[in-house]
Amino acid sequence: MINIITKKMKGVDYWVVDFRYAPIGFTPEEWKLKTDQLVAAGIIPKSKEKNIKRSKMTKSEVKAKAAAIINNVEDHDMSKDVLLVKDLLGEKLNDIRFDDIGFDYRKNANYLGRRFGFDFALNGSIKKATIQYEINICRKFVRLFGDKSWSTLNAQDCMVQLREDGVEQANDLETHELRLASSYGTFKRAFNMIKAISRYLAKFYGVKDVFADVILKDFPAPKTISEYKDSKNARTMPTNVDDVLYFAEQSYLKGIANRDDDTKKLWHEQLLLQIELFKRTGLRKGELIALTWDDLKLVEKGNKKFGTISVNKQFSRNTQTVSKPKTTKAIRIIPISFELYERIIAYKEIQIESELIFPNSVGKHDVRDRFGRALRSGNKEVHGDNKSKWLTVHGIRHFFATKFLNENHGSLDDLSVLLGHTDPRTTIQNYVDNRDIPADRLADIADRVGA
């Protein structure tokens, strides 16, 4: 994987090409040897990053330059990391079908989506959630085009079919226009994947690049996408968030009404703390469920006290496993107010004995997602069956971000770090140089997020 990002240095915008991640077909150890050779030859700098002024090259030209540098490395045996299409299909390459290509990720760590690794899209360090997402798109290809021969595919018709399928899947939204807008992001991902797979087959196996001529401009973002964004933003207005969370709490209290007083007090306080942490920190659900007491610290700086939460793992309810967060940047320290820290410590006194901060009734990870069930009840009370207006945990994360920037006057730089975004453009369409929050500013941020 060759990572290409933008960065502003001394007022000048640069493309930064990072060669430290191994492309498809190389183990990290093999790639380190190769890049060391490239450094020794003066092809790439010692930092294994190349800075190119944005005014000098387009991104596609930068990619081409990166590919040219990789080509200075001798050919590598791709069979270690890529399923060999020839082995699967013999001599019938031009008559292959999507379901002939196939992928069985349970028996083999590789799958169809990884065949476009040479496009700098994926490498061996991708997360299980990403793999599953790519696999689901591959399954969509098989479902839609699996019975058709590759050489007879009409690329334009395939894209239209992909687009229509996305609209059908977005059935929680009221109108066709909103469904069209909401499904556009997934369509773009599938569009890029199928084009890359086509390029891969052509590059390595001589198969016709069926999708070479189809371009995304033929399928522009719908005009209603701004309306869809307004619809999403409406979900995270303070009034909606507070109303839904209030009814979520009331529903939860009804569910534990028959428990003894100590148990009711414990589960009620746990729910309230989860609500506070989601609203004040922007944590992802899997990150909150995985929190242990070792992750909670008290910090004293001068005459100020505040708490910190170390985010270094996440829990997946689908696989019921604990893993590292989504990206390296998602490993972060989040400050909280001293008041909230004390409240969590007080809750520890009545909690079920467990290393987890928010365990289930037997001290293990909450696989039943009690918070999620309460949130669904709150949504149903406020919005009925109109799921397009339902508040989600990710919506609460958006609420936190909006409040941090607009009401608490926090910086975009700090917000990007607190949310654990790899690229600040994910937070907003802008790149921020500084990725670290100095220790002497944590106390001030703790005051702001506690507001």
pLDDT digit string, tens, across residues 365-386: 998 888 999 999 999 999 888 7
**What pLDDT, in 10s, does the model give residues 126-143?**
555 666 677 677 778 878
pLDDT at 4 over 90: no
What confidence tens digit (pLDDT) does each residue in 382-439 have? Answer: 988 877 788 888 888 888 887 877 766 667 777 777 777 765 566 654 323 333 455 5
pLDDT digit string (tens) for 31-57?
A: 788 788 788 777 788 888 888 888 888
**Is there a single domain that holds both residue 267 and residue 413?**
yes
Q: Are residues 313 and 414 located together in one domain of the fold?
A: yes
Number of neighbouring beta carbons within 10 Å of residue 248: 25
420 shares a domain with 372? yes
pLDDT digits (tens, 9 = 90+) for 75-100: 433 333 333 333 333 344 455 555 55
For residues 161 and 277, state if they share a domain.
no
Q: Domain range for residue 149? A: 83-231
76 within a domain of the structure (yes/no): no
Q: What is the pLDDT of residues 301-351, one digit of tens each?
A: 888 899 999 999 999 887 788 888 877 778 889 999 999 999 999 999 998
Report the C-alpha gap between 56 and 20 in whole angstroms.
23
Same structural domain for residues 410 and 303? Answer: yes
Residue 71 has pLDDT above 90, yes or no: no
Residues 6+ apart with CB under 8 A from 116: 122, 193, 196, 197, 199, 200
User: Helix H segments across 170-292?
Assistant: 176-182, 184-205, 225-235, 238-255, 261-281, 285-289
Confidence of residue 123 (pLDDT cuts 50, 70, 90): very low
Shared domain for 242 and 323, answered yes or no, is: yes
Residue 266 confidence (pLDDT): 93
pLDDT in tens, 143-193: 887 777 777 788 999 999 998 888 887 766 667 777 777 788 888 888 888
Q: What is the domain count for the chain?
A: 3
Look at residues 265, 248, 245, 243 and name the one whose alpha carbon lies nearest to residue 256.
265
Q: Are residues 146 and 208 in the same domain?
A: yes
CATH number at residue 271: 1.10.443.10
Average pLDDT, the chain: 75
Domain boundary among 70, 104, 125: 70
Separation CA 178–CA 190 (nearest Å): 19
Based on the fold, state whether residues 428 and 386 are members of the same structural domain: yes
Name the pairing type of β-strands 296-301 and 314-316: unpaired
Of 12, 41, 70, which one is at a domain's C-terminal end?
Answer: 70
Residue 117 — pLDDT band, cuts 50, 70, 90? very low
Give the HSE-up count for residue 74: Cα atoms under 13 Å, Cβ half-sphere. Answer: 4
Residue 284: what are its φ and ψ, rounded to 5°? -75, 155
Q: Is residue 156 part of a domain?
A: yes
Inform me whether the pLDDT recorded for 207 exceeds 80.
no
* 312 and 437 part of one domain: yes
Whether residue 152 is found in the same domain as residue 258: no
